[in-house]
Amino acid sequence: MSTRLNWLRAGVLGANDGIISTAGLVVGVAGATTSRTALLAAGVAGLLAGSLSMAAGEYVSVSSQRDSERAALETERQELAEDPEAELEELTGLLAARGLSRDVAREAAEQLSERDALRAHARVELGIEPDELANPWHAALASFVSFTVGALLPLLAILLPAPSQRVPVTVVAVLLALALCGRVSAGLGGAPPLRAVARNMAGGGLAMAVTYAAGHLLSASGA
């Protein structure tokens, strides 16, 4: 359940990043030109660059995490082979620190060690589930997909309306989407929704205002 919630939260955050970064990009370009071709090129380039960057970053990050977890498990395996009694005492102490009496902790440690000592130490001492190590390819794909889905909304919103309606339609669509992302993210994390929604909308609104102003100023200056 915890793993599933983490994946859902990562997906929402990836979509959120796709919405804000692509919205800022296309709204900035819209401040400088009404060319649909320029908007499409900028939006698609931003979508691909962002989604691939997110996927690569997630792959590297999760790969490093997985390597660290494997190294920790291998170290624990060696310690169990070299000095099982000391490891049993360590596990007893860890269980006792969680509120069990010394006798009960010792009995629990012995039973857990008899079943699977490495798994017991991985869970209690390292906080690792040996059979559920993070998969970097899954993480990369999830980030790629979530960012792409988020980025498609501002891209379509800026391309489909008439030139005079592009920016207003995009701003409204993006703010509504960010409100939804904030609400879902808050729900997954058990945080107050109003603050998360307001923070999300304010960040996206600021990003679009700054990039639109920059595009407009560059266009006015003839750059």
80 Cβ neighbours under 8 A, 6+ residues apart: 87, 117, 118, 121
Nearest to 132 by CA among 119, 145, 116: 119
Top-ranked range on mean pLDDT: pick from 52-56, 107-111, 184-188: 52-56
pTM for the model:
0.81
Segment 120-172, tens digit of pLDDT: 888 888 888 887 787 888 888 989 999 999 999 999 999 999 999 999 999 99
pLDDT at 186: 85
Cβ distance 148 to 18 under 8 Å?
yes
Query: How many Å is the maximal CA-CA distance in the chain?
Result: 80
Mean of the per-residue pLDDT values for the chain? 89
Cα(217)–Cα(48) distance, rounded to whole angstroms?
Answer: 26
pLDDT at 139: 85
> Could you tell me the pLDDT band of residue 207, with boundaries at 50, 70 and 90?
very high
Cβ distance 153 to 204 under 8 Å?
no
Residue 9 has pLDDT above 80, yes or no: no
pLDDT at 222: 62
- Give the side-chain half-sphere CA count within 13 A for 38: 13
Residue 1 has pLDDT above 60, yes or no: no
More confident residue, 1 or 95: 95
